[in-house]
Amino acid sequence: MNENGIVIIGAGHAGVQAAASLREAGFAGPLKLIDNETENPYHKPPLSKAYLTGAAADAQPLRAGVFFEQNGIERLSGTAVSAIDPAGQSITLADGWVLPFGHLVLATGSVARRLNVPGSDLPGIHQLRTRADAQALRDALAGARRAVIIGAGFIGLEFAAVAATRGIETTVIEASDAILKRALSRPMAEYLHERHRAAGVTFRFQETVAAFLPAEGGRIGAARTASGDDIPADIVLVGIGADAETGLARQAGLAVGNGIIVDHQLRTSAKNISAIGDCALFPHPQAEMPIRLESVQNATDQARCLARSLTGSPTSYDAVPWFWSDQGPLKLQIAGLSQGHDRTVLRGDMASGRFSVFCFRGDDLVAAESINQAADHMAMRRILKGVRRPSPSQVADAEFSLKAFAA
């Protein structure tokens, strides 16, 4: 590492954790954390949960404001990086200022995917990625009577639960034939679908939006589906997923797929440049192909792993993936990667609202999805760290102690 130290682009979960972990690991050189947002770095998950319902009045800071100063982390906020020169080891900021780096960390996150149909820019159509987005949605919810959500993914469904709880007529339009089709096992997706339906949410599957139509006054009035129905709406959330923020990496000539390509130590194709968090496409021992994960766990564990590597203990990234989502009163927790599973085993009773679905690939346990069953989730995270796996009949047996097995 030369005297220019480490520059981190992106002060989200990954970037802030990287800065903190570097200091914890003893890195004493110059450390800069640059972000194009102006506010203090904050937790994103509550934006579609407690912040939206108003249970949390403000965004929850990732670290107290003094943390950065006390730890000698120079923050450049409201500052966009516009270019990287990998050979010259420097970056250019939007105002033209050039900053050299010894090592560069790309923690640029992801951006909400846009829906490009006529009327997409009408007032009343929202996306949800930043605190400002969440504030706009929260304000709009106050007077809303009919909500339309495009996309039955995690954020869309969390928002649907909030809207329906308020008595807002809520419709979800989804292109595929099920909710969370790529993310969840079929039994879990069917269970959640039924619970949302029972809470008053209407689903339109195998349907897309052809256009948004204005009401009198020019605000959103309805979503027109491809099959020609107009669904009235005074608020719309487009929740059709997010794309890795790869613009800078691409422009700099780094290898990029559906994320910035890194190796098992989170190194990009350019010397002295790493990528972590939502923007990174990485190999994982539990995945057949390189994957990109959008989760707080992945962002923070990759940051810790990189900090170890940059402070003299080269470390391969192999943390067990886990995730959570609050769907109204239901706490969904996922441990492992369920892609490619061919069998599921139910543990517990769905009717009780506390159960887990265990996903197997052949005889190999690869993931568990739990509803209001944190003990199963925690046990599964420990199990996936080791080599021994319980069998399908063991996990189905209520008398079998997963906790003891995990220990």
Ligand X SMILES: Cc1cc2nc3c(=O)[nH]c(=O)nc-3n(C[C@H](O)[C@H](O)[C@H](O)COP(=O)(O)OP(=O)(O)OC[C@H]3O[C@@H](n4cnc5c(N)ncnc54)[C@H](O)[C@@H]3O)c2cc1C
Residue ranges that bind ligand X, judged by CB under 6 A: 9-15, 34-37, 44-45, 47-48, 80-81, 107-110, 128-129, 155, 245, 248, 277-278, 294-297, 299, 323-325
User: In residues, how long is the chain?
Assistant: 407
Residue closer to ligand X by CB (options 12, 124) is: 12
SS (H, E, C) 63-85: CCHHHHHHCCEEEEECCCEEEEE
By beta-carbon proximity to ligand X, the closer residue of 28 and 94 is 94
How far apart are alpha carbons 246 and 140 in whole angstroms?
31
Please identify, using beta-carbon distances, which residue of 151 and 277 lies nearer to ligand X: 277
CB of 326: closest distance to ligand X in angstroms? 7
Both structure tokens of 208: 């897309």
Q: Nearer to ligand X by C-beta: 81 or 383?
A: 81
Residue 197 Cβ, how far from ligand X at the closest point, in Å? 22
Residue number with CB closer to ligand X (119 or 153) = 153
Number of neighbours of residue 378 by Cβ within 10 angstroms: 17
**Least distance CB 393 / ligand X (angstroms):** 31
Largest Cα span, the chain: 65
- Helix residue ranges per DSSP H, 47-130: 50-53, 65-70
* Closest separation in Å from C-beta 226 to ligand X: 27
CB nearer to ligand X: give 45 or 348: 45
Dihedrals φ, ψ of 13, to 5°? -60, -40
CB proximity list for 338: less than 8 A, separation 6 or greater = 183, 184, 185, 359, 366, 367, 369
Q: What count of Cα atoms within 13 Å lies in the side-chain half-sphere of residue 311?
A: 18
Shortest Å distance, C-beta 209 to ligand X: 21
Is residue 31 within 8 Å of 74, Cβ to Cβ? yes
Please tell me the distance from the alpha carbon of residue 38 to that of residue 166, in angstroms, as a whole number. 32
Minimum Å gap between C-beta 46 and ligand X is 8
In this chain, which residue has its C-beta nearest to ligand X? 12
| Beta-carbon count within 10 A of 26 CB | 9
DSSP classification of residue 122: S
* Residue placing its CB nearer to ligand X in the complex, 245 or 376: 245
Q: How far is the CB of 381 from ligand X (least distance, A)?
A: 13
